[in-house]
Amino acid sequence: MTHFFPALLQAIPQGVDYIRILPELVLSVFGIAVMVLDPLVDEEKSQKLLGYIALVGTIAGLASTWYMASSPGMAFSDMVKVDTFSVFFHYLVIAIAGVVILSSFEYMAVQRIRAGEYYALILFGVVGMGLMSSAVELVLIFVALEISSISTYILAGFRRHEASSSESSLKYFLLGSFATAFFLYGVAMMFGATGSTNIDVIGQKLQAVPASVLVYVAMALMFVGLGFKVAAAPFHVWTPDVYEGAPAPIVGLMSTGPKAAAFAVLLRVVFETNAPGLFWMLWIAAALSMTLGNIGALVQNNIKRLLAYSSIAHAGYLLVAFAMTTPQNSLNGISAAMFYTAAYAAMNVGAFAVISHFANAGERYVTLEDYEGLGRTSPLLAATLTIFLLSLIGIPMTGGFFAKFYVFSAALRANLIWLTLIGVANSAIGAYYYLRIIVVMYMKEPRKVVPVMPVSFGLGTALAISVLATLYLGILPNRILQYAQESAHYVLPRASVTNAANTNQVTPTSGVAEH
Amino acid sequence: MSTDSLSPYILTLVTFVPLAGALFLTVLPRRDRDIRIISLIVSLIAFVASLHLPVYFHRSQAGFQYEIDKQWISSPNIHYHMGIDGISLWLVVLTTFLTPLCVLISWKSVHDRVKEFFILLLILETALIGVFTSLDLFLFYFFWEATLIPMALLIGVFGHERKVYAAVKFFMYTMIASVFMLAAILWLYAQTGTFDFVEIEKQLQAGTVTNFPAAAQWLFLGFFIAFAVKVPLFPFHTWLPDAHVEAPTAGSVLLAGVLLKMGTYGMLRFNLSLFPEQSRHNAPWIMILALIGIIYGALVAMVQPNMKKLIAYSSVSHLGFVVLGIFSFTQLGLNGAMFVMLAHGVSTGGLFMLAGILHERRHTYEIAEFGGLASIMPVYAASYLFIVLASVGLPLLNGFIGEFLVLSGAFQARAAYGVLAATGVIWSACYLLWMYQRVFYGKVTHPVNNSLGDLIGFEKAAIWPCAAAALLMGVAPILWLGAIDPAVHAALTPIVQVASKVVGQ
């Protein structure tokens, strides 16, 4: 009894533990506040008021992330790990949610959607995404994954009067549950193989003993689950349908937020466990996603479907950064992947903000023909969309360029020449369909009258933030990249980081010696 | 002393003045007149500032001058490294010289979306200057790609009937080709750890780059394809006639005058300096392609019924001379190549302006629609003749010097090439003078043409500087060649070293 008591005390979470999940706590509180207030205020006012509360919630979330960053370490019996890596993704997903909420103000009013659950679900979703990036316990990761997924399932169906939206929601839900089940199977098998569900412990175990078949199966199953979440081929088939039906701002959210979080999990699972047998799986998934995504996008006429295929392609570019084997290359790959998620978030959220504004009531105007002559009728909106599209192509001075640049140069340094060539060729194909949108906007005369409302303050702010972020990442990528590089060290197992530092010093001299 | 202290920043100033002007235009209200005047002022400021460069340039020195080297991004190791030598010096001045003329020639002809037009034009100028001034491969690639967007938009928004087709074709051709260059640049960065052109050149010459011998041929081709499409070298030229025919006049002027030179400049700067050995290996087939370009371009130009298409194909032919001169690896040939670049920029720029003036009055480029214009528009006809003669290569005008030097170089390299290329000079006289005859001499066949007005003030202001420059370049080429010669010599040195190594073995 006497020695049991201190052990019990230790097991009870300490004060600092709560600081390490502070953003999640704050966001949950705001989410609950939105839900509670929803029936109390009348419908007219609720839209604005609840929106602002949610917005304040995300700002408080960012502030609490900043506070959380000052006390890094493990929490809740090593289930949660706060390091610069998780702080990075916290900032990212919360900022995404903030911008999406800003761009939703106008959308909600136009589409006549009841606001209460909508904003609350966004906040709850972000809780899940944040937790995904800081959890190092596979079971907790699963829980976080479900929190974020379930809120996005519901959000996808928010245009209740549209059949396509319900279809989108149901499809996403059924296939998504299927995929998370795969993930859970993988976790169970990993537990069977290593006796632990903690990523660090698994990593140590795998280094100590040669991996059994079970480990390979477990990694493959987990990859299926996460591959679905990031919309990587061959688990991408759901994407176009779901994106087409879901509300446009929500597509902006779910193509970036949950994706970034799932990539964070994938980074931890792939690199921190350092499990064998993933290389070719990632290689093939990357090559397939890039190619299928780009080819699929070529023939699309609906702009939401087009960007859905583009998001598959971008998942492919991102996966290129995962196909690393040596520790030094892994560091490059991890930081490149982190930068990519940030740059992609900035441009894609922005693009969907423009699309949601332009779609108008009932999302009537979402085909390429509707965009004809937009450059003349609303030049500013068209110029903004052009910046995002140029960034998606990967034109210099935009975030998209450096994102691709870091990924491909990491791949080249790892001697993945073929994968780089596939990627570079794909970026050239990709340029064509993004360009098509720019061409119809500027070079075609409008064939029908498409009403464009004046841009509201909230949307204007959202667009300004996205444009600034895209250009900032394209002109001064240094700070974000350095932050990502520092964070990358936390994702690798301790031993290999020191190895990497050593090999880093040795290579130049050996290179000289050969000649 | 005061000029010296200005030196490091003058290039930055010249490069970004147009961009600053473009940004200023964005906030201006849509009063077309104001926008035109401000664009003219901005482009003139850039021109005057760029005149600082040749005035204080140390002609006898071969290395880079006015250098500025500051770290921009630490990882990857990207520097804001700019500098010019005798090769890039004149291309910068050519760009700043042509842009105000483009503003003038567009004064009346652009009346829809005027603000967007001039913003794009000024952005394009910044990007073009940046291409010639950057010494960091990354910066270079950035400006290289940055020229694409404003040019494609100028064609696609302000062009003629098939503008969208031409714009997309132009964009895709050059974009896909430059992706290969990006891959090569990335490879170099991965192996050397720097994007700095001077540093990479040093490392490659010292032979400390791992895996370089195996990859060198691919790297050479990666750069070469991007440049060859831009030049355009036969058989990559098919985008050019479409782009020219559909582009607005100012777009054509900058496209032919400067954009094409990005390709030949790139060959001269990057292919020759970084990969001297591969340049030598590949020279035979490149020279043959250049010869095909010279003759084929000229023959196709001859049968064109469309004036602008004719000038476009004449560009293919003239740029063939440039490539031939570069890959002859002789001092004369390279000097000549540089001079043809400048001369072609001035005289073909002038031809496109003149064609544009006619199009504005009659809305067609068909040669058959005209005839006997000499009596109706005498000033126009005289100016046209002057520029045509400059382009044909009449001695004492600019075309002659460059072609003469290139041909001498080609003879030194291989006599047969010189002979074949020399026929190109004859062809060019044929197609240009024949075109001139059909348009200006004889009787007025179409009554509509009787009412055509002669040159007005803006048009004179745009054309006559071209004519004056053509004359000055023809009379006193030494003003230009004095700076070009040492730079070209330095560019040739590694090639000569490679050659002597081969002989030594």
Kindly provide the ipTM of the predicted complex, given to two decimals.
0.72
Report the gap between the CA of B143 and the closest CA in chain A (Å): 8
Whether residue A2 has pLDDT greater than 60: no
Q: What is the pLDDT of residue A508?
A: 36
How many Å apart are CA B19 and CA A514, to the nearest integer? Answer: 47
Provide the percentage of residues in chain A whose pLDDT is more than 70.
94
Residue A32 C-alpha from the chain's centroid = 24
Report the gap between the CA of B167 and the closest CA in chain A (Å): 9
CA-nearest residue to B178 within chain A is: A428
Cβ of A396 and B146 within 8 Å? yes
Weakest-pLDDT range from A142-156, A250-264, A354-368: A354-368
Model confidence at A429, pLDDT cuts 50, 70, 90, reads confident
Report the gap between the CA of A120 and the closest CA in chain B (Å): 40
Q: Which residues of B touch A376 (CB under 8 A)?
A: 113
- Contact status of A486 with chain B (Cβ, < 8 Å): no
Report the gap between the CA of A367 and the closest CA in chain B (Å): 19
Cβ of B76 and A408 within 8 Å? no
- Contact status of A507 with chain B (Cβ, < 8 Å): no
Choosing among B70, B75, B180, which should be mutated to test the A contact, i.e. which has the most A CBs within 10 A?
Answer: B75
Q: A141: which 2 tokens?
A: 């990761």
State residue B200 phi and psi, 5-degree precision. Answer: -65, -45
Q: What is the pLDDT of residue A502?
A: 44
CA-to-CA separations, A456 to A449, B2, B272, in angstroms, rounded: 21, 52, 55
Q: What is the pLDDT of residue A54?
A: 92
Cβ of A481 and B153 within 8 Å? no
Q: How many CB pairs under 8 A join A and B?
A: 75
Whether residue A472 has pLDDT greater than 90: yes
Q: Which residues of A touch B139 (CB under 8 A)?
A: none
- Contact status of B23 with chain A (Cβ, < 8 Å): no
Q: Which element (helix H / strand E) includes B425?
A: helix B415-440
What sign does the CA torsion over A35, A39, A42, A43 have?
A: positive
Q: What is the pLDDT of residue B6?
A: 54
Whether residue A511 has pLDDT greater than 70: no
- Contact status of B222 with chain A (Cβ, < 8 Å): no
Positions of chain B with pLDDT under 70 = 1-6, 501-505
Work out the average pLDDT over A226-248.
90
Cβ of A424 and B146 within 8 Å? no
Q: Which residues of B touch A439 (CB under 8 A)?
A: 156, 164, 167-168
Provide the percentage of residues in chain A whose pLDDT is more than 90.
43
Quick one: three-class SS letters along B38-105?
HHHHHHHHHHHHHHHHHHCCCCCCCCCEEEEEEEEECCCCEEEEEEECHHHHHHHHHHHHHHHHHHHH
Q: Which residues of B touch A412 (CB under 8 A)?
A: 186-187, 190
CA-to-CA separations, B320 to A479, B414, B421, in angstroms, rounded: 46, 16, 9
Q: B463: which 2 tokens?
A: 């054309």
Work out the average pLDDT over A240-267.
91
Of A395, A409, A512, which has the smallest distance from its Cβ to B189's Cβ?
A409
- Contact status of B167 with chain A (Cβ, < 8 Å): yes
- Could you give the 3-state DSSP secondary structure of residue B82? strand
Quick one: three-class SS letters along A240-301?
HHHHHHCCHHHHHHHCCHHHHHHHHHHHHHHHHHCCCCCHHHHHHHHHHHHHHHHHHHHCCC
How many Å apart are CA B302 and CA B344, to the nearest integer? Answer: 18
- Contact status of A433 with chain B (Cβ, < 8 Å): no
Decide which of B290 and A108 is more confident.
B290
Find the DSSP H helices in A360-493: 374-377, 379-393, 399-413, 417-443, 457-475, 478-491
Model confidence at A515, pLDDT cuts 50, 70, 90, reads very low
| Cα angle value B180/B181/B184 (rounded, 5°) | 90
Partners of residue B71 on adjacent β-strands: B79
A300 HSE (CA, 13 A, CB side): 27
- Contact status of A380 with chain B (Cβ, < 8 Å): no
Cβ of B73 and A477 within 8 Å? yes
How many Å apart are CA B70 and CA B67, to the nearest integer? Answer: 10
Q: Which residues of B touch A425 (CB under 8 A)?
A: 179
Q: Which residues of A touch B187 (CB under 8 A)?
A: 412
- Could you give the 3-state DSSP secondary structure of residue B306? strand
Of A412, A428, A514, which has the smallest distance from its Cβ to B175's Cβ?
A428
Work out the average pLDDT over A254-275.
89
Q: Which residues of B touch A290 (CB under 8 A)?
A: none
| Residue entry with tokens 């494609």 | B152
- Contact status of A375 with chain B (Cβ, < 8 Å): yes
Q: What is the pLDDT of residue A59?
A: 95
Burial class (CB in 10 A: 0-12, 13-18, 19+), B434: middle
Whether residue A13 has pLDDT greater than 80: no
List, for residues A302-334, the tens digit of each pLDDT value: 999 999 999 999 999 999 998 888 888 888 899
Whether residue A89 has pLDDT greater than 60: yes
- Contact status of B38 with chain A (Cβ, < 8 Å): no
Choosing among B16, B145, B181, which should be mutated to test the A contact, i.e. which has the most A CBs within 10 A?
Answer: B145
| Residue entry with tokens 């090639």 | B495
Q: B364: which 2 tokens?
A: 């067609």
- Could you give the 3-state DSSP secondary structure of residue B70? strand
Q: Which residues of B touch A421 (CB under 8 A)?
A: 183
Q: What is the pLDDT of residue A510?
A: 36
- Contact status of B74 with chain A (Cβ, < 8 Å): yes
How many Å apart are CA A482 and CA A97, to the nearest integer? Answer: 24
Q: Which residues of A touch B75 (CB under 8 A)?
A: 478, 481-482, 485
Residues A107, A89: contact at Cβ < 8 Å?
no
Counting every residue written for chain B, the total comes to 505
Whether residue A495 has pLDDT greater than 60: no
- Contact status of A376 with chain B (Cβ, < 8 Å): yes
How many Å apart are CA A66 and CA A91, to the nearest integer? Answer: 8
